[in-house]
Structure 1
Amino acid sequence: MKHPQPTTETPTGYESVRTFLTAVALLAISSFGGLLIIDGFSRLQPLVGLGDSFALTFLVGGGLATLWFAAVGVAYLRFRPVTIHYDLRWPTLRDGGWILGGLAGIIVVSLLAEVVVNLFGSGSATNISTAAAIENPVFIYSVFLVGNLLFIAPIEEFLFRGVIQGRLRESFGTITAITITSVGFGLTHIPSYWFGGSDLLSVGVWGAVVSIAATGFILGYLYERTNSLLTVSIIHGLVNTVGIGLALLAVL
């Protein structure tokens, strides 16, 4: 299933600039909108008798923020069609190879980023899920584990790789589109560290952002190679599952 094909005319300089600004706008609207949703829910909680549980803020506010990502992508597609390769089907053995290779590549990149961060200093790099899990780690990580696979990863891949990367590809080509999208993917995770109470100027936070951007680059490359949003959503979900699973094991 694909959205209607966009025009195939060679883009002018003006159109390329407009495409870039559109991508920046989508990244900003999704990121700041998600931040406002989580912050707004945290302020609403005590007013409606839900207390000040940060775990609840994460689960409900974070869930609504993820839905906001989906709403931004769907709204834009109604305004400006973008070709998206959903490829909704049962994965094949070939898909399994891409999934395992992508997972291994992202894990290696993440480990290298951690080594570099440790060489140049650490600093706080606590994200919203880690901060929320302090109240009830087993429950929070268990819910997050399921929500990540079925909800968070597919929606983020739809917006970033499907909509934003797909739009950029029309004007800039594959590599530039992947690069811009992956940088934006990393930057849009900064609010997560802000909610987690991290020092946003620390080496730890920016090391994490670079690692996430590198992960986004690998996902973007694999999306172009496989033409399958399903495949990269599975890889994305499994990468997060590894991290969540390790955090869960650490508290058991």
Structure 2
Amino acid sequence: MSTVDQADGYTRSVLVAVLLSVAGIIASQFTTVPAFLLDPTLLESPAEASNTATFIFLTLNFAGFFLVGGAYLWWTERGWDWLDIRMPTRRGWLYVLVGIFGSIAFVMVVNVVATLFELPSSENQVMELVGDDPNMVLLMIVVVFLFNAPAEEFLFRNVIQKRLYAAFSRMSAVIITSIIFALVHIPAYALAADGGLAPLGAIGVSLAVVFGGSIIFGTLYAKTDNLLVPTAAHAAFNAFQFAILYLVLRYAPEELENMMAVSLEAGLALLPL
């Protein structure tokens, strides 16, 4: 392959990755319309919406990723054989554990750095939807296992990252996918609750968590060629975060809840909406 052809391969692969990422985000805005029609409160006061409407909104939010990834596989005639889905081996499950504890450790490091530099945390729409309802938190654990982690890992790992393998090394594909994944979420973290711009420090903390988490889960996929490995690690990590939130809301005093706020916001940055 000539230098020109190789450069074209690089450019085309990255362009396809960016377009698929943006398409997934845009599609998610349309798939959630039925939830808003069911309960318009989701638009004005998300925390006051019914648990049923919130659950439907969250599940439909990730349906867009499935639709875009599936449409791409159909359009390119790759078919469902392109998917790397099989029961993990013992080595695969070890990678899952490494991913879970690695994600937790990474978020803890981000929390320490954010605390040392007195960086604020950006608000996450998930926290607005959950409010202070412990029952909604339990529903979120179901969402991350059945919809959030499977949808994001399917599109960003088994479709986008794997597509990048054609032009880049595996680790380069992991890094590129993670950069794109972080960049497409800038709008979600740049807007503050009052409609203005969030502090740069807050945006940076959230994007650092998103980028780092994507690096971890992307590496798991690159090492195992098994979509279930990063999906299981991703789901378990987010479920761990919600389990902490549940305990805080159900049992912790207000002082502890305030102390946990930064940690929860950073960890739940991996749940972009």
Alignment TM class, shorter chain as reference: 0.7 to 0.9
Q: Is the 8 A contact 1:99 1:234 kept in 2?
A: yes
1:184 is displaced (CA, Å) by 2.2
**Which residue does 2:255 correspond to in 1?**
none
Give per-residue Cα distances to partners, 1:78-116, cap 9 Å, x unaligned: 122387452322x44322211111111111111111112
**Which residue does 2:111 correspond to in 1?**
114
Alignment of 1:217-236 (within 5 A): 217-236=215-234
- SS of the residue 2:57 aligns to: helix
Q: Is the 8 A contact 2:36 2:42 kept in 1?
A: no
User: 1:151 aligned to 2:143?
Assistant: no
Instruction: Flag the 1:50–1:197 CA change in 2: closer, same or farther, 3 A.
Output: closer
Q: Is the 8 A contact 1:16 1:172 kept in 2?
A: yes
Instruction: Flag the 1:196–1:139 CA change in 2: closer, same or farther, 3 A.
Output: farther
**Which residue does 1:25 correspond to in 2?**
19
- SS of the residue 2:167 aligns to: helix
Alignment of 1:28-177 (within 5 A): 28-35=22-29, 37-38=31-32, 40=33, 44-45=37-38, 54-55=46-47, 56=49, 58-80=54-76, 81=78, 84-89=82-87, 91-134=88-131, 136-177=132-173
Give unmatched runs, 5+ long, in structure 2: 251-273
Give per-residue Cα distances to partners, 1:176-201, cap 9 Å, x unaligned: 21011112223344455468838534
Q: Distance in 1 between matches of 2:73 and 2:221?
A: 19
The residue type equivalent to 2:129 in the other structure is: A
Q: Distance in 2 between matches of 1:201 and 1:35?
A: 25
* More divergent stretch after superposition (158-167 vs 58-67): 58-67
Normalised by the length of structure 2, the TM-score is: 0.77
Instruction: Flag the 1:94–1:14 CA change in 2: closer, same or farther, 3 A.
Output: closer
**Which residue does 2:240 correspond to in 1?**
242
Q: Distance in 1 between matches of 2:243 and 2:183?
A: 24
What is the identity percentage for the equivalent residue pairs of Structure 1 and Structure 2?
Answer: 28
Q: Is the 8 A contact 2:171 2:222 kept in 1?
A: no
* More divergent stretch after superposition (123-132 vs 161-170): 123-132
Instruction: Flag the 1:230–1:42 CA change in 2: closer, same or farther, 3 A.
Output: closer
1:50 is displaced (CA, Å) by 8.6
Instruction: Flag the 1:223–1:105 CA change in 2: closer, same or farther, 3 A.
Output: same
Q: Is the 8 A contact 1:165 1:178 kept in 2?
A: yes
Q: Is the 8 A contact 1:26 1:72 kept in 2?
A: yes
Q: Is the 8 A contact 2:20 2:160 kept in 1?
A: yes
Q: Distance in 2 between matches of 1:243 and 1:125?
A: 16
Q: Is the 8 A contact 1:120 1:203 kept in 2?
A: no
Q: Distance in 1 between matches of 2:102 and 2:56?
A: 32
**Which residue does 2:269 correspond to in 1?**
none
Q: Distance in 2 between matches of 1:50 and 1:121?
A: 32
Q: Distance in 1 between matches of 2:236 and 2:125?
A: 19
Runs of 4+ with deviation above 6 angstroms: none
- CA RMSD in angstroms comes to 2.8
Q: Is the 8 A contact 1:87 1:229 kept in 2?
A: yes
Give unmatched runs, 5+ long, in structure 1: 1-9
Number of residue pairs the alignment of both structures matches? 239
